[in-house]
């Protein structure tokens, strides 16, 4: 997909410039599992953190398609940074489109992003419950503490961006006898918040996805972004959205595009024994053709799905299986492409001094990000098999 507007092209150029800068330190942060604070300062300065904030609040006003296109480019420089900032962008972008939070809270947080570069992410997973998409009730509890006041206690895992977050939008059980669950926007300055640095993973090592521990953190009614029954929450979670899966797909696919570029450059310049470049060998040419065919297909589905979701809101129920398919295809293609690149390059691919082994590890993160493949395929099958009539892939125009 080529940019279709000047604003889209400008955001893409910004992402490409940032990617080139981040690529110089990606290996170091991966090796040390350190959080790249300087990358987020650069994104603040470039206005990238405010890209999905509406223009009336001072942000970039970019929709899902623009962000997916930019994230594909950013991930080629540093997959961990792309995945991390993607969490912030999907949180702000989803709310900019849905406008489901209380107006005053949304205005306050959005202005903080624009004016101060505030970072925000939904943190929901827990050691026992896992992802809230399973429909579970969280152990993290919000207990009454007087009129309009609450106390928050619990532990969250996989809390990406935790070293730099300004707002932890936290999934909680409301323990006032209602049985409700809620999400509350907790500012980092509140007392009782501790970051337990547990993140030491195979891939995406620089995402800062540590545990966050809340110990009697004071919360007010004005901090609630949502509150509903557990059953209603299960309905909301099952329907899902597009920002999370498509930006996960973009981060992983962008990494694999970097692996493809590395392999293409390698076989074009590698001339073992002075006979001929590897690029002249028929097998090598066939594999590059297969790699590019897979990337073109996955990239096209990702961007087409983002565009359809953004510009055809009346069709989103029909588009949900396509969103799941786009995420699964992007994830699986990323893994296949990096493995193909490693086979083409050979032993060099195993060296820590070269990026392919990092790409190999990083793209595996997509298989554990929701929707996981089994649930995605079930969602696609339900659309075809469980309705009153067989589901169709043709757009419904009524």
Residue showing tokens 């691919």: 349
pLDDT per position as a tens digit, 57-72: 999 999 999 999 999 9
A 10 A CB-CB count for 88 gives 28
Cβ proximity of 269 and 278 under 8 Å: no
Nearest to 36 by CA among 86, 101, 73, 85: 85
Average pLDDT, the chain: 95
Give the per-residue pLDDT at 244.
Answer: 97
CA distance 13 to 7: 10
pLDDT per position as a tens digit, 33-47: 999 999 999 999 999
Give the per-residue pLDDT at 197.
Answer: 98
Percentage of the chain beyond pLDDT 70 is: 99
Give the per-residue pLDDT at 327.
Answer: 98
Per-residue pLDDT for 133 more than 90? no
Q: 342: which strand partners?
A: none
Per-residue pLDDT for 398 more than 70? no
pLDDT per position as a tens digit, 153-183: 999 999 999 999 999 999 999 999 999 999 9
pLDDT per position as a tens digit, 227-269: 999 998 887 776 669 999 999 999 999 999 999 999 999 999 9
pLDDT band at 136 (very low <50, low <70, confident <90, very high): confident
CA distance 162 to 206: 11
Cβ proximity of 322 and 305 under 8 Å: yes
CA distance 222 to 376: 35
pTM of the model: 0.95
Cβ proximity of 138 and 171 under 8 Å: yes
Average pLDDT, integer, range 212-226: 98
E strand or H helix that includes residue 310: helix 282-311
DSSP state letter for 225: E
Cβ proximity of 333 and 297 under 8 Å: yes
CA 41, 47, 52, 53 torsion: positive or negative?
Answer: positive
Give the per-residue pLDDT at 239.
Answer: 63
Q: Please tell me whether residue 73 adopts helix, strand or coil conformation.
A: helix
Residue showing tokens 């509406």: 54
Average pLDDT, integer, range 2-29: 97
Contacts of the segment 283-289: beta carbons below 8 A, 24+ positions apart: 284/344, 287/340, 287/343, 287/344, 288/263, 288/264, 288/344
pLDDT band at 145 (very low <50, low <70, confident <90, very high): very high
Helix, strand, coil % (nearest 5) of the chain?
A: 55, 15, 30
Residue showing tokens 């901090």: 223
CATH 3.40.640.10: does it fit domain 6-118? no
Average pLDDT, integer, range 330-346: 98
In CATH, the number for domain 123-229 is 2.40.110.10
Percentage of the chain beyond pLDDT 90 is: 89
DSSP string computed for 138-193: PS-EEEE-STTEEEEEEEEEEETTTTT-SEEEEEEEETTTT-EEEEEEEETTSTTE
Residue showing tokens 């990323």: 334
Per-residue pLDDT for 320 more than 90? yes
CATH 3.40.50.150: does it fit domain 240-385? no
Q: 229: which strand partners?
A: 180
What does the domain layout of the chain look like in residue ranges? 6-118, 123-229, 240-385
pLDDT per position as a tens digit, 22-36: 999 999 999 999 999
């Amino acid at each position: 997909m080529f940019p279709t507007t000047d604003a889209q092209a400008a955001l893409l150029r910004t992402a490409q410039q940032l990617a080139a800068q981040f690529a110089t330190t990606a290996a170091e942060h991966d090796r040390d599992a350190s959080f790249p604070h300087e990358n987020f300062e650069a994104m603040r300065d470039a206005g990238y953190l405010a890209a999905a904030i509406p223009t009336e609040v001072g942000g970039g006003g970019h929709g899902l398609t623009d962000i997916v296109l930019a994230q594909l480019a950013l991930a080629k420089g540093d997959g961990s940074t792309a995945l991390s900032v993607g969490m912030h962008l999907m949180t702000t972008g989803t709310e900019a489109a849905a406008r489901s939070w209380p107006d005053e809270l949304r205005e306050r947080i959005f202005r903080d992003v624009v004016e101060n570069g505030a970072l925000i992410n939904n943190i929901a997973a827990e050691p026992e419950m896992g992802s809230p998409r399973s429909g579970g009730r969280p152990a993290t509890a919000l207990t009454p503490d007087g009129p309009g006041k609450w106390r928050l206690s619990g532990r969250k895992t996989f809390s990406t961006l935790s070293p730099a977050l300004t707002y932890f939008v936290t999934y909680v059980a409301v323990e006032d006898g209602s049985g409700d669950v809620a999400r509350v926007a907790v500012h980092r300055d509140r007392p009782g918040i501790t970051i337990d640095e547990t993140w030491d993973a195979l891939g995406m090592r620089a995402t800062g996805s540590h545990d966050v521990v809340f110990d009697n953190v004071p919360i007010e009614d004005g901090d609630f972004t949502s509150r509903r029954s557990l059953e209603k929450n299960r309905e909301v979670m099952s329907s899902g959205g597009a920002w999370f899966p498509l930006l996960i797909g973009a981060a992983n696919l962008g990494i694999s595009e970097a692996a493809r570029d590395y392999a293409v450059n390698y076989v074009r310049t590698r001339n073992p024994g002075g006979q001929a470049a590897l690029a002249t060998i028929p097998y090598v040419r066939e594999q590059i053709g297969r790699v590019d065919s897979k990337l073109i297909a996955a990239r096209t589905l990702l961007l087409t799905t983002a565009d359809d979701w953004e510009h055809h809101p009346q069709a989103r129920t029909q588009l949900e299986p396509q969103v799941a398919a786009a995420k699964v295809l992007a994830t699986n293609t990323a893994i296949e492409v990096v493995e193909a690149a490693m086979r083409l390059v050979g032993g060099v691919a195993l060296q820590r001094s070269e990026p392919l082994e990092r790409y190999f590890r990083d793209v595996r993160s997509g298989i554990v990000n929701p929707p996981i493949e089994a649930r995605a395929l079930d969602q696609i099958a339900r659309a075809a098999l469980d309705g009153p009539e067989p589901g169709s892939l043709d757009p419904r125009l009524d």
